[in-house]
Amino acid sequence: MTRRSRFRYFKTSPEIIRLTVMMYVRFPLSLRNVEDLLHERGIEISHETVRLRWNRFGPMFAAEIRRNRASRMRAYSDWQWHLDEVFVKINGETHYLWRAVDHEGEVMESYVTKRRDCKTALKFLRKSMKRYGQPEVIVTDKLRSYGAVMKVIGNAPK
């Protein structure tokens, strides 16, 4: 089964849509400034169209950038993760938010559980490693569950 293009109902080309979103996101421009710049290039577009395209295609482009970035970072020699868990209250109950953050500060994975034990830490780490690959170094907050998980996985925590 072939996947349909997300641009299929738009009269303008995907390149112009990408250019519109890139100009708005990459540079500190207002919607009307993007409209003016595109008008100078011969592309007639309104500021409301810029906003609608940013809302519709921005998350898709961001996910694509994240995916490409993660694949490039796997080859990076100092690929390291910081693992942490935070107490959060959801409907008055205490839960734990587990997060894996890379060395550039990008949150790669998050996971909410009711427990804070070795089994949960192992499940979270395996889920993260399945999606992003094995990091070179894992930095933790010295939670004892992480030490037990590192023995299972075969990676020493810092």
- The structural domains of the chain, ordered by start, are 14-74 (no CATH), 80-153 (3.30.420.10)
- Rounded to whole angstroms, how far apart are CA atoms 102 and 74? 11
Angle between helix axes 47-74 and 31-40 (nearest 10 degrees) is 90
DSSP state of 134: -
Helix, coil or strand: residue 147? helix
pLDDT at 1 over 60: no
Of residues 63 and 71, more confidence is placed in 63
Phi, psi of 29 (to 5 degrees): -115, 150
pLDDT at 74: 59
pLDDT in tens, 103-114: 777 788 898 999
Confidence of residue 77 (pLDDT cuts 50, 70, 90): low
Beta strands in the chain (DSSP E): 80-90, 93-102, 107-113, 137-139
Percent of the chain at pLDDT > 90 equals 29
- Rounded to whole angstroms, how far apart are CA atoms 114 and 126? 18
pLDDT in tens, 29-56: 999 999 999 999 999 999 999 999 999 8
pLDDT in tens, 114-126: 998 889 989 998 8
Neighbouring C-alpha atoms within 13 Å toward the C-beta of 116: 13
- Rounded to whole angstroms, how far apart are CA atoms 37 and 92? 50
- Rounded to whole angstroms, how far apart are CA atoms 61 and 91? 34
